[in-house]
């Protein structure tokens, strides 16, 4: 696979680290629900179903040991969301973190947005390695001193202390979504962001928590006429007026906020006509788009539906310029996947640093990479068996039918409880993070 440099040399992926307990009994709260690198790749954040955010920091590169360059260690852990109860609707609001998005760094501190189904929070992550000593009106333990007993003034001084990482909530954006939030996206103006639920998209200012502007509303007057829902939304990486949202019917709408305040009328509609030969009872379910991502250069966007990844040129709405089959061998298994609800799994996708390779997850803890330039693909596995330091990952092959070769895996033996829904790619290097149920696997290209 070509790497972030886009060269023709194949990248050999090798195991780097695995985070989380290696245990067969997985607590529901420990299941990872989102993974996101920050803009430099130095920090990697994960959110889980227990409402926790865990941030890992990349170790400083050791020139004498290049194989250790991408060690990520725990930097900060904090409880982002707690379970709540909506008394008006008699509904529990679970604490699960649906999305994390990093804000571009402006000073020494880092900021991120995290959201559950209803509430978005802005967190500040900062370091403290000094403490103030020598107060005039209080003791070192915090007790106040009677001002009448002070006989001399002291100048307080900073003293070194052990590094402490603090996570503090700076803003809480609540009460704006009737339905479950599925996406948040930071605008390139660095001042606003959008949040999307099943039927509406809201535009927020990062400094204002008590109001947002509704920019898309697809809710019909009569809910019985509802035919599609919003599944994902994202701002363009460098055009602050442009955003896209995808639907459960397999279409993507590009909107321009300069056209009108309410963007119910899209500027472009990206939709591929369905192949009549593949028409089935499950067609509408598997055409639902679970993720949409702009390329870093803003020319293309990638969408993920149940069976495939599609690359769209923003200048061509009629059909995708590239289509990659992720697990076409499952088409014959759709009936059993419908019965066990796996057909409703929402797989995410991501680009590498220079948009030449795309990655997405599959079942049996497999994940797929597609090289756009060389039209090649590979299937790799995140497993305990291949978790020795710097062990090279062997490509896996699935046998769809007929006689199975020695190294192939039969479709019938795939474990559908093991699935990779969330993946992330380092913005500059060949380092990837892959979330299996409660474990975070980190892989990197092999260093000779």
What is the CATH number for 87? 2.130.10.10
pLDDT at position 150 is 78
Task: Give the chain's length.
Answer: 448
The whole model's pTM is what? 0.88
- pLDDT band, very low/low/confident/very high, at 142 (cuts 50, 70, 90): confident
Residue 11 lies in a domain: no
Contact 20, 438 (CB under 8 A): yes
Phi, psi for residue 62 in degrees, rounded to 5: -100, 110
pLDDT at position 287 is 93
d(Cα 254, Cα 424) in Å, to the nearest integer? 24
Contact 107, 67 (CB under 8 A): no
Residue 260 lies in a domain: no
Contact 254, 314 (CB under 8 A): yes
Tokens 């700076």 found at: 170
- Mean pLDDT, the chain, rounded, equals 89
pLDDT at position 69 is 59
pLDDT at position 354 over 80:
yes
pLDDT at position 324 over 80:
yes
- pLDDT band, very low/low/confident/very high, at 8 (cuts 50, 70, 90): very low
- Which domain covers residue 41, as residue numbers? 33-135+165-175
Rounded to the nearest 5 degrees, what angle is found at the Cα of 185, between the Cα atoms of 182 and 189?
160
Residue 342 lies in a domain: no
Residue 266 lies in a domain: no
C-alpha distances out from residue 14 to 159, 386, 388, Å:
43, 9, 9
pLDDT tens, residue by residue, 220-257: 999 899 999 999 999 999 999 999 999 999 999 999 99
d(Cα 230, Cα 263) in Å, to the nearest integer? 14
- pLDDT band, very low/low/confident/very high, at 340 (cuts 50, 70, 90): very high
Residue 57 lies in a domain: yes
pLDDT at position 5 is 43
DSSP H helical ranges for 30-98: none
Which percentage of the chain shows pLDDT scores above 70? 95
Nearest to 100 by CA among 168, 192, 37, 28: 37
Residue 122 lies in a domain: yes
Provide the domain count of the chain. 1
Q: Extract the tokens encoding 226.
A: 């509802």
Contact 290, 308 (CB under 8 A): no
Residue 86 lies in a domain: yes
Nearest to 134 by CA among 156, 150, 161: 156
d(Cα 238, Cα 369) in Å, to the nearest integer? 26
Residue 353 lies in a domain: no
Q: Extract the tokens encoding 314.
A: 């923003």
């Amino acid at each position: 696979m070509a790497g972030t440099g886009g060269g023709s040399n194949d990248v050999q992926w090798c195991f780097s680290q695995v985070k989380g307990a290696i245990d067969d009994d997985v607590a529901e709260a420990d299941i990872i629900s989102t993974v996101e690198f920050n803009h430099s790749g130095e920090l990697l954040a994960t959110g889980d179903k227990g409402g926790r955010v865990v941030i890992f920091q990349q170790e400083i590169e050791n020139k004498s040991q290049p194989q250790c360059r991408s060690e990520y260690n725990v930097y900060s852990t904090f409880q982002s969301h707690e379970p709540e109860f909506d008394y008006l609707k008699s509904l529990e609001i679970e604490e699960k973190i649906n999305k994390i998005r990093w804000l571009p760094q402006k000073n020494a501190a880092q900021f991120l947005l995290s959201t559950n189904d209803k509430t978005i929070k802005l967190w500040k992550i900062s370091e403290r390695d000094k403490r103030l000593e020598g107060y005039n009106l209080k003791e070192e333990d915090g007790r106040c001193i009677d001002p009448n007993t002070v006989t001399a003034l002291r100048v307080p001084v900073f003293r070194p202390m052990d590094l402490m990482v603090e996570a503090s909530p700076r803003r809480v954006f609540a009460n704006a979504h009737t339905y479950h939030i599925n996406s948040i996206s930071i605008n390139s103006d660095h001042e606003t962001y959008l949040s999307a639920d099943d039927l509406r998209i809201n535009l927020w200012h990062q400094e204002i928590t008590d109001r947002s502007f509704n920019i898309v509303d697809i809710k019909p007057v009569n809910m019985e006429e509802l035919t599609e829902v919003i599944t994902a939304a994202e701002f363009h990486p460098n055009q602050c007026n442009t955003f896209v949202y995808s639907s459960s019917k397999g279409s993507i709408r590009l909107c321009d906020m300069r056209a009108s305040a309410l963007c119910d009328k899209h500027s472009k509609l990206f939709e591929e006509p369905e192949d009549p030969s593949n028409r089935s009872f499950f067609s509408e379910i598997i055409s639902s788009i679970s993720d949409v991502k702009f390329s870093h250069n803003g020319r293309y966007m990638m969408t993920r539906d149940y069976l495939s990844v599609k690359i769209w040129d923003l200048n061509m709405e009629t059909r995708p310029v590239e289509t990659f089959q992720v697990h076409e061998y499952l088409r014959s298994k759709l009936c059993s996947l419908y019965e066990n609800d796996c057909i409703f799994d929402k797989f995410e996708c991501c680009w590498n640093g220079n948009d030449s390779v795309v990655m997405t997850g599959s079942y049996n803890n497999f994940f797929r990479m597609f090289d756009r330039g060389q039209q090649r693909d590979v299937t790799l596995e995140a497993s305990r068996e291949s978790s020795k330091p710097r062990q090279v990952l062997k490509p896996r092959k699935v046998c769809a039918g007929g006689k199975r070769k020695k190294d192939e895996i039969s479709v019938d033996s795939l474990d559908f409880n093991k699935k990779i829904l969330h993946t992330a790619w380092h913005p500059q290097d060949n380092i990837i993070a892959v979330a299996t149920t409660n474990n975070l696997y980190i892989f990197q290209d092999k260093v000779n």
